[in-house]
Chain A
Amino acid sequence: MVELWNIYIWPLIWILAKILLIVIPLFLAVAYLVWSERKVIGLMQQRMGPNVVGPWGIWQSFADVLKLLLKETILPTGANKIVFLIAPMLTFVLAFVAWAVIPVGEGWVLANINVGIMYLFAISSLGVYGIVMAGWASNSRYSFLGAMRSAAQMVSYEISMGLVIVTVLMCVGSLNLTDIVEAQRTVWYVVPLLPMAVVFFISTLAETNRHPFDLPEAEAELVAGYQTEYSAMSFALFFVGEYANMIMMSSMTVILFLGGWLPPMDIAPFNWLPGPLWFGIKVAAILFIFIWARAAFPRYRYDQLMRLGWKVFLPMSLLWVVGTAGVLVAFDLAP
């Protein structure tokens, strides 16, 4: 009995506590990302943004969640009910499970697995199913068109994203996320691999269906794309999942190119701040660029989007993979 308690129960409780330590801050981060997005875009467009609920509107997100909780979940008559309900859950769950492998500080990670970056890539490539299932199950033309666009878009940009990741991995020599961050002690990869960092960032915009690539939910053409038929909490799950995905993609960018939890330089004023705080600051900076891009750019046309993915990013990142490999071998830099 004691053995059972020691081997199974305590580790289980310990892991559950760690999971809560990841999930609760993530929920808060999503709530304040939504709030700050509205506030920042408001300021960029010379409006006030949310300012009624609490001082500077800081309780706005919680008020929105409460409102959505109290509303009725509507099931369309022609919908495929089970798939219709599974789709938002899938999006939500996938956005959260990816966090199991992300190291926010030295040793601050739930599962430090060998193939961390592959795991992240696999989970983010599954994200498309939530959207496609939602679009198909809604039995609505707008939803279906949104889902089709999203599927094509995410599959196209995943390829160049994969090649960018390969470039970084060749420099590191490991698939472990902690190793990837540690390898950037001398120089962050954004310096030698700047074009790849740009390609990666733009691909993450497309992968998370954010402006200027938000064709799957383009209001002017498709009402709300795959979300058209969703209401109340089923919509909220999509919404939270999407924003959690944005944070996840930003942390992926930070880990691959901006040195994770490492300070910019290992000298006095910088290394006073603890690692996780640096990680948070960098993620927030990337998220600001996400929001900035939304305020600054008009939506891409669909053929332009495909052209950018297949005819510009794919050849470019392929060339960089070959070029980086060549440089690493020629100067004997390969790890």
Chain B
Amino acid sequence: MIVHALAFYLFAAVVVASAVMVVMARNPVHSVLFLILAFFSAAGLFVLLGAEFLAMLLVVVYVGAVAVLFLFVVMMLDVNFAALREGVLDYLPYGLVVGLVMLVELGMLYGAWVTGPEVAMMATSPMPDIAQVSNTEALGQLLYTKYIYLFQAAGMILLVAMIGAIVLSNRQRDGVRRQVIANQVARTRKDAVEMKKVTPGGGI
């Protein structure tokens, strides 16, 4: 148990510290790197909770794909962050208010879980036995069997969003020479090479 607790405090401390550093770091690339560290430590917390599939998913999706693209963009952009940072004190009260609201909401959530009338019933509702069904399988049952329509609807919304983004950002330009692979493959010696009789001193 001691090791478990130690690991929890280590991961939790790293999450909090790197989350603070995301906001405080002067260099935007450092911010993104701290964000990645925060994601990774959160995955560690998931493992401690016994949700190993979610932990791996967090690393694969957020750390391995989303954050890479994020880092990509931040590195490519040449924004003057010193100028951007000038108004930071003006925005501080708003930030604090948002933070406070979220804190209160989290507290209320916890309160509801402790005092709510239906909680006792929900906590005793049948859960698959962890020894028989791994949590990957349980998640699969929930997502792809029980809530399949909602899952499909979510997928459809994402598809529409993706098509929308492509339509908005894609513009047709004239005068672009594109590589047409089929033409290159279909090219034969007859199209490309031609025999000419060259007379001396005549040229072609």
List residues of chain A with CB under 8 Å of any chain B CB. 8, 80, 83, 113-115, 118-119, 121-122, 125-126, 128-129, 132-133, 136, 144, 148, 151-152, 154-155, 158, 162, 175, 303, 307
Contact = CB atoms under 8 A, between A and B. Distances in A.
A115 B64 contact: no
Contacts of B33: 83, 133
Interface in B29-43: 29-30, 33, 36
B56 A118 contact: yes
B59 A115 contact: no
21 contacts: A8-B3, A114-B136, A115-B53, A118-B60, A122-B56, A122-B59, A125-B65, A128-B64, A129-B71, A132-B71, A136-B29, A144-B75, A151-B68, A154-B68, A155-B65, A155-B68, A158-B64, A158-B65, A175-B53, A175-B136, A303-B179
A144 B60 CA distance: 24
A122 B190 CA distance: 51
Nearest to A122: B59
B22 interface: no
Among A8, A115, A125, A132, residue most surrounded by chain B Cβ atoms (within 10 Å): A115
Q: B-side binding surface: helix, strand, loop or mixed?
A: helix
Interface of B: 3, 27, 29-30, 33, 36, 52-53, 56-57, 59-60, 63-65, 68-69, 71-72, 75-76, 134, 136, 179, 181
Contacts of B65: 125, 155, 158
Contacts of B181: 307
Contact of A119 (B3, B29, B56, B179): B56
Contacts of B69: 155
- Listed from nearest, the 8 A-B pairs whose CB atoms lie closest are A125-B64, A118-B56, A122-B59, A122-B60, A115-B52, A115-B56, A122-B56, A114-B134
